[in-house]
Amino acid sequence: MTTDDTKAETRFFGLAVSPGIARGTVHVVRDEAEDVARYHIEPSEIANEIGRFETALIQTRAQILEMQQKIAEAIGAKDAGIFDAHLLVVEDRTLIDEVLRRLEGDLCNVDYVFQEVAKHYADTLSKIDDPYLRERALDIQDVTRRVVRNLQGKAQKAFLALSDPHILVAHNITPSDTATMDRKQVLGFATDLGSRTSHTAIMARSMNIPAVVGLHNATEKLETGHEVLVDGYNGLLILNPTPDTLWHYGELKHRKEQVAEQLTGLRETKSTTRDGRHIVLSANIELPNDVESVAQNGAEGIGLYRTEFLYLNRATLPTEEEQYQTYRKVAEHVAPHPLIIRTFDLGGDKIACGMEAFDEQNPFMGLRAIRFCLENLDIFKAQLRAILRASSTGNLKIMFPMISGLDELRRAIGVLDECKAELKRERVAFGSATEVGAMIEIPSAALCADALAREVDFFSIGTNDLIQYALAVDRVNERIANLYEPAHPAVLRLLKMVSDAAHRHDIWAGVCGEMAGDLTMVPLLLGLGMDELSVSASLVPRVKRVVQSLSIPECEKLVTAALELTTPAEILARCTEVARQHYADLIS
């Protein structure tokens, strides 16, 4: 279907997840629901169903390994590691054993049983209050569809074989779809679903495909053949762009290309303000494979290493030795820069295999993170011993998440001291001077930061949780997402309390939440006296450029003015004004 040039321009607003601008003819993919009918089988047919299942798993594993190889050759081994989670699904003995048990008990076809068991796994993950981990539910759904298609003998999705240049618009695009699509033909893509932390978004960025997600109903409004423009900078999909719009985006594309060229030259430079203050600029990572991107983007080590991946999608808990080997390799890779390991944030809504599940009415404020650790000392001590052993590299630091007060912090440090004593008795080498920090992500911790600062070597502020707890806003609830305000006066005051307390007691304070990567908010954080910012690796060059564009006195002046304001909109406007004065090309 072709469109008439006289038709009105229409804009769809979503989330920008992969920068760039693409213009072309759209190909719309409606959501393909896999039709898996349930039917009865006889006990004598169970062996045949098991054989079908095993064959489909082997076939799926081979397909995933082939995709990994293609991605590794095209964009590097780091991004190919995304499919490690897919391999874990087809190799997960807990899941496979549950399918076999249900197969024998229910006496129905294995494709239906597998889909039901996998759906239960995905539904459990989708309820987790962590965008990254919740997105792993989509990985399970992706693998489930692939296994089911192999069980049913279906060919690959037709849209992956398109031979003409196009912009793909779909209800959802899986990581497998992204890896399999022809980069030469897919100019950009947009989806109804999705988030910034999805593997599909990560891969789009790695493959340099402009992408917008979270459009809600674009597939209902568009038809194949429409002319569209994808704005991966601002999260827009534009139907029937006018000549004025096309001219504007031509200019924007030219400016962005110039900025990108300038940013590539910043890798070896320091994140130092115009008046000479050095701000430590670190990277947040999720998986060991992510470590390659730290140095590539010019980060000074790792400011937040999430360890939950070691505990999820597996049938048994990780051993102390396995954890030690993992932590040591990462520490050696980033040396001499620091590696800050956050002890695992599990429990309540994030139960790993091998841990006892329990129901809580509000798991997000329940027995999780440090609370769960202090109730499960065997699991906690295995991780602490592994971290201490790895700390013999000399650049490793440890921090405890979800600290709410002094008693909790002292108990955690007490367990750490017990582990040190055990290792000393066993004559096992470890770094005796390993720095210990507290994550400040609960308002009570910010309010008693003075007391906490006497016990630790540093603070790292997790703004994502601090903001949502302070404002009573679930940041992933679309109905109230507009109430999640990083520039809220209450948030500003909490941040100031933490920074002031740290400096009164001669320890450093950093920010490892999304606020550190918000280019408009960086002047505010510098003015508050933050010593370190830790952001996703891909944002490091941009944040470095921002730091180099500012001076501390003007940032402190911004904070003084902001503290006199009473609404988030007023504070955000002041921050935006400073940003536009110094690096408008990065935020336009």
488 is catalytic: no
199 is catalytic: yes
Query: 146: helix, coil or strand?
Result: helix
C-beta of residue 56 within 8 angstroms of C-beta of residue 151 = yes
222: left (phi over 0), alpha (psi -120 to 50) or beta: beta
d(CA 114, CA 99): 6
Residue with tokens 């095209």: 74
Sheet with 15-18: strands ordered across:
10-13, 236-239, 227-231, 21-29, 166-170, 186-191, 211-213, 15-18
Q: What H or E segment, with its residue span, contains residue 438?
A: strand 436-440
d(CA 251, CA 481): 32
d(CA 21, CA 246): 11
- Give the DSSP letter string of 2-42: ---TTSPPEEEE-EEEE--EEEEEEEEE----------B--
Question: What is the chain's Cα-based Rg?
Answer: 25
d(CA 525, CA 510): 9
With a CB cutoff of 8 Å and minimum separation 6, the contacts of 380 are 343, 373, 374, 415
Write phi, then psi, for 122 (nearest 5 degrees): -65, -40
* Catalytic residue (choose from 86, 199, 337, 488): 199
Query: 99: helix, coil or strand?
Result: helix
Residue 580 token pair: 């536009």
User: How remote is the C-alpha of 455 from its chain's centroid?
Assistant: 30
C-beta of residue 209 within 8 angstroms of C-beta of residue 231 = no
Annotate 357-372 with three-state secondary structure: CCCCCCHHHCCCCHHH
d(CA 372, CA 266): 42
* Catalytic residue (choose from 373, 512, 555, 575): 512
- Give the DSSP letter string of 521-532: THHHHHHTT--E
d(CA 136, CA 122): 8
Specify the amino acid at residue 574.
R
How buried is 431 (Cβ within 10 angstroms: 0-12 exposed, 13-18 middle, 19+ buried)? buried
Question: Among residues 158, 172, 25, 37, which one has the least CA distance to residue 108?
Answer: 37
User: How remote is the C-alpha of 478 from its chain's centroid?
Assistant: 18
**CA-to-CA separations, 502 to 123, 306, 457, in angstroms, rounded:** 41, 23, 9
**CA-to-CA separations, 538 to 45, 67, 389, 544, 548, in angstroms, rounded:** 52, 23, 30, 11, 17
**CA-to-CA separations, 397 to 149, 220, 324, 416, 456, in angstroms, rounded:** 46, 50, 14, 12, 11
Active site residues: 199, 512
